[in-house]
């Protein structure tokens, strides 16, 4: 370790950004040295995305300073960031499918030959840059024919073409196969050899250990630590990321299992970007038990739930509710068998925000006899029902005729919960049931979920909040990279242990109980 300070590419000091009362970034310092590979890690909600958005000019900080290559800068928009030499490779690629690699690279700064694009020059420039940094691509290939890993290389080429000196990669391996991930690491090595500085955002411990020169760990908006190569261990990272707070006890009756209700067998499904995100998942859920799937967001939990509830195609595997396989049935059919579902996206999917609270509460039950009077809807009964539900679930609103879009986020969530819980279904699937809900209401919601469990229903929960996971669950399954990597009894585990599994540092061998014979054979 020399005493001469190494030149800094990025120096962010005291960056603070508030959204309402919440500090997404709380006085964060970040230094990135020239020519290093710097990883930025943290769970969802830690503040990584906000920080990078500030660096890239998409968001302005409330406080703090930024220096780029030593010069204080005010990054007002992405164009400015680009001019300063900052290039970003987003999670969702911005490539025109029907264009070639070269065309995408030069878009916006085309080499010209009088009035026309100089296509030969474009081809050559692309070839040169890719050779220089070891990014193998065919400049003439069409994007639509390229696999994800190669598309990502094109995104990197775009930043290089614009002369970026700092390249930010936002969760780049989320869509890559293991082989492609290896190739990416090689590429990053080439970039650094070429004098570039790389910032790598991730939550996967193995990756950090594979490439990082230094790591900055964020948690709940603050920087909790920096580690230097040589000192980067899984334990250190896990502890920093997940913390060691004291757990609050919750009053919970001992569980009373009553047979298996939900049996998921070898479930495999693809994500929106065409890659497999749910990989051979097998588990079950008994009546009278709360099973929670814990994990960092983006590891396939959402897609898993969509596959179970009929909102996503199941490629392989079974989903059995009450011994009936409902894989690839419509949402209506799955609900009919006995499912209620509190979805991940409450606003776009779980509610019709332009309709009234009462309408949202009876949706799904609107065909039932109780709400009909002859061939018409019995609005009087509907309103009585709604009033009671609003009261029972403490939904803060001037009235049931209010449009849902005028409610606060927490109250919207309560409407969804009220409706789904009131189905009294055998199986309740709840994704992030208390996200965005105020502290007082979280307690009430947890009580409702426990009530449901005590009355003999099966509850499958998904949550990123480890406190909630540890307090409510009877069993915990950790999901990482599309697979169930561990099963735990909440009484016998700790935040650190769960955290280690959540970031891929550890995994269990599949337990025999879970490995039920798969009916479908793989090709």
Partner 1 sequence: MVESLFPKGTARFWTALLSILLAFAIGAVMIIVNGDNPILAYSTMIQSSLGSVNNLAATLAVATPLIFTGLSVAVAFRTGLDNIGSEGQLYMGAMAGALVGIYLKGLPTTVHITISILAGAIVGGLWGWIFGWLNVKLKVNLVVTTIMANYLGILFTSYLANYPFKPPRAPIGSTTFVQDSARLYRFFDSSTLNAGFLIALAMLVVYALFFNYTKFGFEWKTIGLNRFFARYIGMNIHRQMLWAMFASGGFAGIAGAVEVLGVQGRFVQNMSPGYGYDGILVALLAGNSAPGILAVSILFGALRIGGIGVEQVTNVPSELSSVLRAIIILLVAAQAVIFAFLKTRRKKHHELGSTVRS
Partner 2 sequence: MNWEALFGPSVLEASLRIATPLLLAALGGAFTHHAGIFNIALEGMMLFGAFFAIVASYYTSNWVIAIAVTILVGMIIGLLYGVFTIHLKADFIVTGIAINVLGLGLTTYLLRALFHVKAGLQDARIAPFPDINFPFLNSLGSINEIFNDQSLFTYVSWILVVVLWLIFYRTPFGLHLRAAGEHPDALETAGVSLTKTRYIAAVCCGVLCALAGAHLSLGYLNQYVINVTSGRGFISMAAVLFGGGNPVIIILVSLLFGFAESMSIRFQGIGVPGYFALMIPYVVTILALVVWSIQKQQKLQQAESAPESLT
Q: Which residues bind partner 2 (CB under 8 A)?
A: 78-79, 82, 94-99, 103-104, 107-110, 112, 115-117, 119, 158, 177-179, 268, 270, 274, 276, 279-280, 313, 315-316, 522-523
**Residue closer to partner 2, measured from CB, 78 or 456:** 78
Coil, strand or helix: which one is 54?
A: helix
Between CA 467 and CA 473 the distance in angstroms is 10
Report the nearest approach of partner 2 to the CB of residue 257 (Å). 32
User: Distance between CA atoms of 94 and 104, rounded to whole angstroms?
Assistant: 9
For partner 2, the closer CB: 113 or 244: 113
339-342 and 324-325: which strand pairing? unpaired
Contacts of 476 (CB under 8 A, 6+ apart): 291, 292, 294, 469, 470, 487, 488, 489, 490, 493, 498
| Interacting partner of 22 out of partner 1, partner 2, none (Cβ under 5 to 8 A depending on kind) | partner 1
**Which is nearer to partner 2, 175 or 416 (by Cβ)?**
175
Q: How far is the CB of 80 from partner 2 (least distance, A)?
A: 11
Could you tell me the smallest distance in angstroms from the CB atom of residue 399 to partner 2? 32
Partner from partner 1, partner 2, none contacting 79, C-beta within 5 to 8 A by type: partner 2
Residue 276, SS3 per DSSP: strand
Minimum distance of partner 2 from residue 170's CB (angstroms): 13
Q: What residue has token string 């080429």?
A: 157
Smallest distance from partner 1 to CB 312, Å: 11
Q: How far apart are CA 435 and CA 201, in angstroms?
A: 23
Report the nearest approach of partner 2 to the CB of residue 66 (Å). Answer: 20
Q: Is the Cβ of residue 53 or residue 159 nearer to partner 1 in the bound state? A: 53
Phi, psi of 410 (to 5 degrees): -65, -40
Q: Which residues bind partner 1 (CB under 8 A)?
A: 19-20, 22, 24, 44-50, 53, 58-59, 309, 311, 330-332, 335-336, 341, 343, 348-355, 359, 363-364, 366-367, 371-372, 375-377, 379, 409, 436
> Which of partner 1, partner 2, none sits in contact with 409, Cβ below 5 to 8 A by type?
partner 1
Q: Which does 214 bind (CB under 5 to 8 A by kind): partner 1, partner 2, none?
A: none
Angle at which helix 409-421 crosses helix 379-392, to 10 degrees, equals 110
Q: Do the beta carbons of residue 87 and residue 164 sit within 8 Å?
A: yes
How far apart are CB 86 and partner 2 at their closest, in Å? 13
Q: What is the DSSP string of 325-380?
A: E-TT--HHHHHHHHEEEE-S-IIIII--TTSBHHHHHHTTTTTSGGGEETTEE-HH
Q: Of the two residues 54 and 106, which places its CB atom closer to partner 1 in the complex?
A: 54
């Amino acid at each position: 370790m020399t005493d001469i300070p190494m030149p800094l590419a990025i120096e962010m000091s005291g960056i603070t950004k508030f959204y309402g009362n919440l500090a997404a970034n709380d006085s964060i310092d970040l230094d990135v040295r020239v020519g290093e590979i710097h990883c930025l890690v943290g769970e969802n909600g830690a503040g990584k995305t906000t920080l990078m958005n500030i660096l890239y000019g998409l968001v302005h900080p409330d406080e703090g300073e930024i220096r780029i290559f030593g010069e204080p800068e005010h990054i007002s928009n992405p164009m400015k960031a680009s001019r300063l030499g900052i290039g970003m490779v987003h999670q969702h690629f911005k490539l025109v499918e029907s264009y070639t690699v070269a065309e995408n690279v030069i878009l916006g700064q085309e080499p010209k030959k009088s009035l026309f694009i100089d296509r030969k020059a474009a081809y050559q420039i692309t070839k040169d840059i890719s050779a220089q940094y070891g990014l193998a691509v065919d400049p003439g290939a069409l994007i639509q024919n390229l696999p994800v890993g190669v598309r990502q290389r094109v995104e990197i080429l775009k930043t290089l073409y614009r002369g970026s000196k700092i390249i930010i990669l936002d969760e780049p391996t989320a869509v890559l196969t293991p082989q492609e991930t290896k190739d990416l690491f090689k590429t990053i090595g080439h970039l650094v050899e070429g004098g570039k500085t790389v910032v790598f955002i991730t939550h996967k411990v193995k990756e950090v250990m594979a490439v990082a020169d230094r790591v900055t760990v964020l948690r709940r908006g603050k920087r909790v630590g920096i580690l230097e190569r040589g000192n980067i261990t899984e334990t250190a990272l896990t502890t920093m990321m997940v913390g060691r707070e004291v757990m609050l006890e919750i009053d919970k009756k001992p569980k009373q299992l009553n047979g298996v209700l939900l049996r998921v067998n070898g479930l495999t499904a693809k994500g929106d970007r065409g890659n497999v995100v749910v990989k051979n998942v097998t588990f079950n859920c008994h009546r009278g038990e709360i099973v929670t799937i814990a994990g960092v967001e983006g590891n396939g939990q959402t897609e898993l739930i969509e596959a179970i509830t009929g909102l996503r195609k199941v490629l392989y595997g079974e989903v059995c509710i009450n011994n009936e396989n409902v894989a690839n049935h419509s949402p209506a059919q799955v609900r009919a068998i006995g499912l209620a579902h509190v979805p991940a996206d409450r606003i776009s999917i779980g509610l019709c925000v332009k309709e009234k609270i009462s309408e949202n509460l009876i949706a799904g039950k609107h065909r039932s006899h109780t709400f009909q009077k002859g061939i018409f809807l019995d609005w009087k009964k509907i309103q009585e029902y709604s009033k009671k539900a609003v009261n029972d679930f403490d939904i803060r609103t001037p009235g049931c005729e209010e449009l849902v879009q005028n409610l606060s986020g927490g109250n919207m969530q309560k409407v969804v919960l009220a409706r789904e819980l009131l189905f009294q279904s055998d199986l309740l699937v709840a994704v992030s049931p208390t996200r965005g809900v105020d502290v007082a209401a979280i307690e009430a919601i947890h009580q409702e979920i426990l009530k449901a469990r005590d009355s003999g229903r099966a509850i499958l929960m998904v949550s990123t909040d480890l406190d909630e996971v540890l307090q409510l669950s009877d069993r915990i399954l950790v999901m990482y990279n599309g697979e169930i990597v561990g099963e735990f009894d909440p009484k016998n585990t700790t935040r650190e242990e769960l955290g280690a599994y959540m970031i891929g540092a550890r995994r269990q061998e599949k337990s025999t109980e879970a490995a039920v014979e798969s009916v479908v054979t793989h090709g």
